[in-house]
A and B are shown apart, each in its own frame.
Chain A
Amino acid sequence: MDGHVNIDRDEKTLSVEESGSRSGKKRRRSQNQDVSASQPPTQSSRPEGESARPDALDTESAYNNSQTRDPATQGVVRRHPRGGGGGGGGGDAGARGESEGRDGHVSASTRGNVQDARRMMQPQSEWEELEEEEEELKYGAQHVIKLFIPVSLCMLVVVATVSSVRFYTQKGIYLLYTPFHETSPSFGDRFFDAVRNSLILLGVVVVLTVLLIILYKKRCYKIIHGWLLMSSLLLLFFFTIMYMQELLRGYNIGMDWITVSICVWNFGVMRMVSIHWHGPLPLQQAYLIFIASLMSLMFIKYLPEYTLWMVLAVISLWDLVAVLCPKGPLRILVETAQERNEPIFPALIYSSNFMYSTLGMANPDDDSRSQGREMAQEGTSNSGSAASGAEGTQRPRDNPQRRRNAENGHVVADDAGFTDDWRGQLDKRTRQRREQVNNFAQQNPSNVDYPQAHPRDLTAEEDDERGVKLGLGDFIFYSVLVGKASSYGDWNTTLACFIAILIGLCLTLIMLAIFKKALPALPISITFGLIFYFSTSLLVVPFTEKLASQQVYI
C-alpha cells in the first residue's frame, strides 16, 4: 500500500488481506520496458506477491516515492522523456539523436528546443545529463502537484468520516494482532503495551513480505495473483458494506436491502474491472483513493491509541530499512522484477497518468521488447495488450500491503512501495526516446525545422503513460495519521499534520529527483507528521487556549 507505483500504483498500498497480507499499494514506478535498453524493465512495481510482505507498506511507499523519482525508468518520472522530447524535437533531431530523444519527449517545453539549439555544441553526454536534470526538476513539481491532490482527497475523506460518523472512534473491538489493549490507567503500562503491539504487527508485516518475496522468486505468479484478487475482493465488499452501514446509521437514513445490494454490487464489480482489467483512469484513481480511505478508517478504529502512533513510527523505520538496505526485502523484490523484466502487479498503485497494466503478470520479455521496439520506431500507440512498450507501459507496482482489519481482527500489512531502479529506467527511457526521435527524424528530414510537433507526437503516448505513481500503502498511512489527529476534535492539530505530510511528500519527491533511486515514501512524511502532531497537541494548543481565554492577542 505504500507507495507502490504503477499504478501503483494501485493496490500496492496496504490492502486488507483477508487471508494473508496483500501487497500494499505502493507507488511503484511502472517499469518501463524499454525495448532498446538492455536494462531490465523499469518495473518498479512490486509484484503482487508483495502483499505477502507486510512491510511492504513502508517500503512500498518508499518505493513509490523513489519510483516517482525515476522519470526515466519508470513511468513515474515521465518528466524526463517529455522534457527531452521537446528539446530534442526542435533542432537537430537527426543530429543529436540521443539528446533529442530525451528531449523530444517532453513536448511541453519549447525551452528544450531552444536549449537544443544552444547546446548543439555540447558533448552529448553532458548535455543530456543537464537536460535530464532540468527536466526532472522541472517536471518534478508537476508530479508533486499531481500527487497532492489524491493524497489530500484521501485525507479529506477520512477526516470527514471520522468527524461525522462516530463509529470509527469507538473503541472496543480490536484486531487479533494487537492483544494488548491498553486498558490500564498508567502511562508506562500503556506505552509498553503499545510497543509490544507494534512489534507484533511489524512481525506480521515482515513475515508477509518475506513470504511474498519467496513466492515471487519462485515465480508462483498464479498464487500471488489469486491472493491479490481474493484479498482485494474481500476487502472491497466487506469494508464497503460496513462503511455504508455506518454512514447510514450515522446519518439516520433508512435503506432497503435491494438498493444497497445493487449499489454495492455495482461499485465492487466496477472497481475490480477498472483496476484489474481496463478502465478509465479517473475512475481507477477514485477507487484507489476510496479504498485507501477505507483501510485508514479500519486502522483508526481497530488500533488502540498509543499503538497506532507506535505502529506508524515502526512501519516508517521498516520502510526505510527494507527499501534502502541492500538486503532489504523490497529492494530484492524490485531488483528481481527488474531482472526478469516483468511488470509489477497492477491494482495497488496509484498512477497519476495513464499507466498500462499488463494483463498478465508474467509477460514475456520478448513481447514487451518487441512492442517497445515497435513503439520506438513507429511511434504507434501502445496497444492495450499485455506487453506494452518500454516507454509507455508501466505496470503498477503493487506492493501490496494489506492490512486486514476484520471483525476478527486479522490484519495483514503488506508492504507497499516498491520502486525500481530509477536510474536504469532512466537510461532505458532516454535510449528509447533517442531511438524514437532518430527514427522519426530520419523519416521526416524536412521537418527538422519544426521539431516540436514530431517529438511530441512520438512521445505523446509515452508522456501520457508516464506519470507519478504512488503506492496505496503510503496513502493509507498518511490518512491514518491525519485521521487519528482529527479524531481528537482539534482542527489545529489536524491541519498541522496535514501540512507536515505534504511537506514530507515534497521533500521525498525532491530527494527522488536528486538521488534517482528507489526511496521510501513513508519515513520523512510520517516523521514530520508525528513531530508536528505531538508538538502541536502538547504545546501549541494549550498555549493558544490560554491566550484566547485571557484575551491576549499576539
Chain B
Amino acid sequence: MNVERLPNERKLAICRKYFMAGFALLPFMWAVNAIWFLKEAFWATPYPEQKQIRKYVIVSGIGAIVWLVGLISWVIIFQQNRSNWGATADYLSFIIPKGIP
C-alpha cells in the first residue's frame, strides 16, 4: 500500500501499531516499520504527526539493530561452541549437521 496517500492520522496509527507489535519478539516488524516510514519521517513535508512518527521510526530502528546484533552474536556463539556443549547443544539444535565438527 502506498503510505503516502493516507491521511496523516492513519499513518501515525499504522506506525504506532507496528511499533507496539514489535515488542512481541518481532524485530523484523521494527525493521520494516523503520524502513517504510523513513521517508515519511524525515524527508516529507512537515505535518503535525511527523514528530511522533519520527520518534517511532528512530526507536524502531534502534530496536531492530539491537536485536540483530544480539541474534548474530548468539548464532556465532552457538555455532562455535555447539560441539563443546555436548548434550545441551543437542537439545537446543534444530538441525544437527553431519560429519565431524
Contacts and interface: CB of A to CB of B under 8 A. Distances in A.
Interface string A229-265: 0000000000000000100110011111111101001
A381 B14 CA distance: 16
B20 interface: no
B21 interface: yes
Given A381-B4, A461-B5, A252 B97 contact: yes
A283 B93 contact: no
A392 B78 CA distance: 49
Interface in B71-86: 71, 74-75, 78-79, 82
Contacts of A281: 1-2
B36 A280 contact: yes
B19 to A, nearest CB: 13
B48 interface: no
B96 interface: yes
A259 B26 contact: no
**What's the interface size class on A, roughly?**
35 or more
B74 to A, nearest CB: 7
Contacts of B24: 269
Contacts of B95: 245, 248-249, 253-255
Contacts of A266: 25-29
B27 A465 contact: no
Taking each of B5, B7, B14, B74, which has the highest tally of chain A beta carbons within 10 Å of its own beta carbon? B5
Interface residues of B, number: 34
Contact of B29 (A245, A270, A464): A270
Nearest to B29: A270
A153 B97 CA distance: 29
Interface in A108-144: none
Nearest to A465: B2
Contacts of B94: 245, 248, 255-257, 259-260
Given A262-B25, A384-B10, A257 B93 contact: yes
A252 B71 contact: no
Interface in A476-526: none
A280 B3 contact: yes
Contact of B32 (A270, A354, A381, A461): A270
A279 B29 CA distance: 10
Contacts of A279: 1, 32
A252 B2 contact: no
A355 B5 CA distance: 12
Interface of A: 245, 248-249, 252-260, 262, 265-267, 269-270, 273-274, 278-281, 283, 354-357, 381-385, 392, 461, 464-465
Closest 8 CB pairs of A and B: A381-B5, A266-B28, A354-B2, A254-B97, A256-B92, A248-B95, A260-B94, A252-B97
